[in-house]
Amino acid sequence: MSNQCFSRDELMVVAASRALANDDVCFVGIGPPSAACNLARLCHAPDITLIYESGTIGTAPDVLPLSIGDGELCETALSTVSVVEMFRYWLQGGRITVGFLGAAQIDRFGNINTTVIGDYEKPRVRLPGGGGAPEIASFCHRVFITMKQSKRGFVEKIDFFTSFGHGTGGDHRTRQGLRTRGPALLVSDLAVWATDPESKQFRIESIHPGVTKEELEATVTWKVEYAPGASETPPPTKFELEVLRDFYARTAEAQTRLANRSIDA
Amino acid sequence: MSKPITGSKIRPLEDAVSENLETGCSAAFEGFTHLIPFAAAHEAIRQNAQDLTLYRMTPDVIYDQLIGAGAVSKLVFSYAGNPGVGLLHRFRDAVENGWPRELEIEEHSHAALAHMYEAGASGLPFAAFRGYIGADLKRVNPSIKSIECPFTGESFSAVPAVQLDVAFIHAQRADREGNVLLEGIVGVQKEAVLAAKRAVVTVEEVVDDLNAHPNACVLPSWVLSAVSCVPGGAHPSYALGYYPRDNGTYLEWARISADRDSFKSWINDNILQSTPSEFGIRVSKFASES
């Protein structure tokens, strides 16, 4: 790792951004997905349509928003619609090609928990809940997920099905009446995972530079499978890193400017 | 049909809250990240509101304060986090430990709750939508049911309409008759107002002419109970065109709310010992940033 000039967090965002195409219409989840989606827009996918659940369609923020409804999102959007319209027409209506989500817990079939750790009635940790995710996972044509790997997060069995991925695998999604493809990609700080076309289980597509198989497998509670020809994730290009770091720097600068106003006053 | 003669709906916030919020009633303080009616919620806490059933899609910092203050007995919601920051500590303390009182929860997804508001505004008893497929909320929340399409036989989720005693929202402007204009991210506020028996709106300013374009989100005064001019009344959320989101305060809330004592001391200093006019001072330093 010592000769690498990028962090694993940076590679996670870069690798996630590469999954998006210029003609995608992407429903952006809160947190890490937002950085990846905007990096795609600033690098290789300038015409991508980014949609946030606050109702902003075709937004192009100059700084990374803290929430899904910062003013920056509305001011740079093509249009802002009501939240009812967003969920009814645009999401349920099937207009969105990719949903990009984060998660607290995930299993190998891309089922996501962001609701509780422990029992629902007597939770050990009460998490925020589903928000838009349950229907984003159902109605976007495909679902991408990005989150850091840990034994607590990458679990054999999630405590609560907040958002249905591939259930128990195979054709479970179709049997539920879902016509969309569901989770297709999982980008972590250690690897890129893609869904096996038959079993619908996540398999390693590529391992990030400097990560060993031992380290990778030690952060997952399920048995890790490798796609035929699994390779090494290409490192970030100089351009990708520059754009990402500029984006973060602009964001930090904007936050400092506001904080200083608060102190000056 | 001529519109009812309303007289002026413009009232001081203290009166608007005391005349419209009662112990045990159902209420929503809505606003999707933008235009969150913090001043109205703080007034409710000062007036010692009790036993409320509160609705809100994103019960973020504003409901963390109401819950921690002990005003809430039941919460209907779809995402209980501090957006971009993390968990809500007062909400967690209520759910996990029953402090300061037991909190009943009814949990939905955003799509469901948005549909429930729309059904309420439409005068329908429920909403049907293609949601909750494979989701455990349908297993743990008895108010989520299934219904068969009479045309195709396909099964849909059905959720009850939101029917409120009172809705509180914040908006940019009202005219002198009390007609209200919202701009930017408008969330579910129109639906919340139309799903409620009574509605109270705080605004940044009262103007002679709203200058609203033909498709603007305007709520006529005759669907509102009271309009109160409270500049800065959405702080630390924002009002597009007036002041930006005070993200620093959202980040700071994680620390203040982390333990009961620092929370109680904050509530005392910033709500109980404060007045609506403080909101204008809080946002004045940001005004030129928006």
Q: Least CB-CB distance to A129: which of B107, B132, B238?
A: B107
Tens digit of each residue's pLDDT (9 = 90 or more) over B9-40: 999 999 999 999 999 999 999 999 999 999 99
- Assess if residue A3 is contained within a domain: no
Residue in chain A closest to B154 (alpha carbons) equals: A177
Q: Which residues of A touch B284 (CB under 8 A)?
A: 265
Q: How many domains does chain A have?
A: 1
Q: For chain B, which residues make up each domain, given as ranges?
A: 13-109+162-289
Question: What percent of chain A has pLDDT above 90?
Answer: 89
Q: Which residues of A touch B85 (CB under 8 A)?
A: 66
Active site residue A53: yes
- Assess if residue A217 is contained within a domain: yes
Evaluate if residue A265 carries a pLDDT over 50: no
Mutate: best of B30, B34, B67, partner A, most A CBs <10 A: B34
User: Which candidate, B174, B170, B166, places its Cα nearest to that of B34?
Assistant: B170
- Assess if residue A2 is contained within a domain: no
With residue A117 as reference, give the H or E element that holds it: strand A116-118
Phi and psi angles of residue B126, each rounded to the nearest 5 degrees, phi first = -155, 170
* Region B13-109+162-289: CATH code: 3.40.1080.10
Tens digit of each residue's pLDDT (9 = 90 or more) over B88-101: 999 999 999 999 99
Q: How far apart are CA B46 and CA B200, in angstroms?
A: 17
Our CA-based measurement puts residue B133 at a distance from the nearest CA of chain A, in whole angstroms, of 7
Q: Cβ of B129 and A74 within 8 Å?
A: no
Q: Which residues of B touch A262 (CB under 8 A)?
A: 246, 248, 285-286
Evaluate if residue A123 carries a pLDDT over 70: yes
Residue in chain A closest to B287 (alpha carbons) equals: A261
**Domain interval for residue A31:** 8-264
Q: Least CB-CB distance to B190: which of A73, A82, A259?
A: A82
Tens digit of each residue's pLDDT (9 = 90 or more) over B217-256: 999 999 999 999 999 999 999 999 999 999 889 999 999 9
Residue in chain A closest to B86 (alpha carbons) equals: A128
Is the predicted ipTM greater than 0.90, yes or no?
A: yes
- pLDDT for residue B1: 45
**CATH number, domain containing residue A42:** 3.40.1080.10
Hey, is the C-beta of A131 within 8 angstroms of any chain B C-beta? yes
Task: Centre a 10 Å sphere on the Cβ of residue B238 and count the other Cβ atoms it contains.
Answer: 29
Residue entry with tokens 């929860």: B105
- Assess if residue A17 is contained within a domain: yes
Q: How far apart are CA B263 and CA B248, in angstroms?
A: 17
Higher-scoring residue by pLDDT: A74, A31: A74
Q: How far apart are CA B224 and CA B221, in angstroms?
A: 5
User: Which candidate, A188, A124, A182, A247, places its Cα nearest to that of B87?
Assistant: A124
Q: Which residue among A10, A53, A205, A240 is the active-site one? A: A53
Q: Least CB-CB distance to A129: which of B78, B187, B190?
A: B78
